Amino acid sequence: MSRLAPDTLTEPQQRILAFISQYMAEHDLPPTIREIQKGAGISSTSMVSYHLKALEKAHLVNRYERRSRGVVPARAAHAQLRDVVSVPIVGRIVASEPAPTPDPDALADAENTIQIARSIVGNGDGLYALEVKGDSMIDALINDGDIVIMRRTSEVNNGDLAAIFLTDRNESTLKRVYREKGGLRLKLKPENPNMKPFYVDARHAQIQGKVVCVIRRT
């Protein structure tokens, strides 16, 4: 079997590969299957074994069946990991009507990350990920439960998909943004034919980032 490119690995496989490498760097020994399950956020140890078989066939891990800590990255994996960016998943963004913004300290979880091919996102600086809730962006192929990879910025072009924090309402939303009236007003447009755009005073709207790519889970 030929070696997989970083962007052809499934999301769980990327998480497993990154976790094994990180664990070995910190502990100087490989993780157990159960540690991989917990650390990579996999539903069961049987699913870990399933993904490890795929990684082994792709020559990205070596497995020693009679050892409890018998999974180690192959040489090819190190080259793969250099081409992967680890992006923290820091919370949720509403793709419907604006919704209250949760406490960011409660949302942030340094162990909750997603691995993305560097060829897709480029420089990893300023990247973060959000889980989408709602269906206002379905025509942009962003569905409820998907993950959007964001780049922190306060500047966007008209038509960009962006996360907007409404300071006067303590609410956030994901919409396509247009500046109107000389920049004094923002038009926030859903990508759903059943929903209408709405308008907000630019003084009460903070652009928190724009969408770089979407990881579809639905």
Tokens coding 91: 């919370």
Out of 21, 96, 172, 175, the active site residue is 175
End-to-end C-alpha distance for the chain, whole angstroms: 28
Catalytic residue from among 136, 172, 189, 210? 136
Tokens, residue 127:
């990247």
Count Cα atoms within 13 angstroms, Cβ side, for 194.
5
175 is catalytic: yes
Q: How many CA atoms lie within 13 A of 186 on its CB side?
A: 27
Q: Is 2 a catalytic site residue?
A: no
Residues classed as catalytic? 136, 175
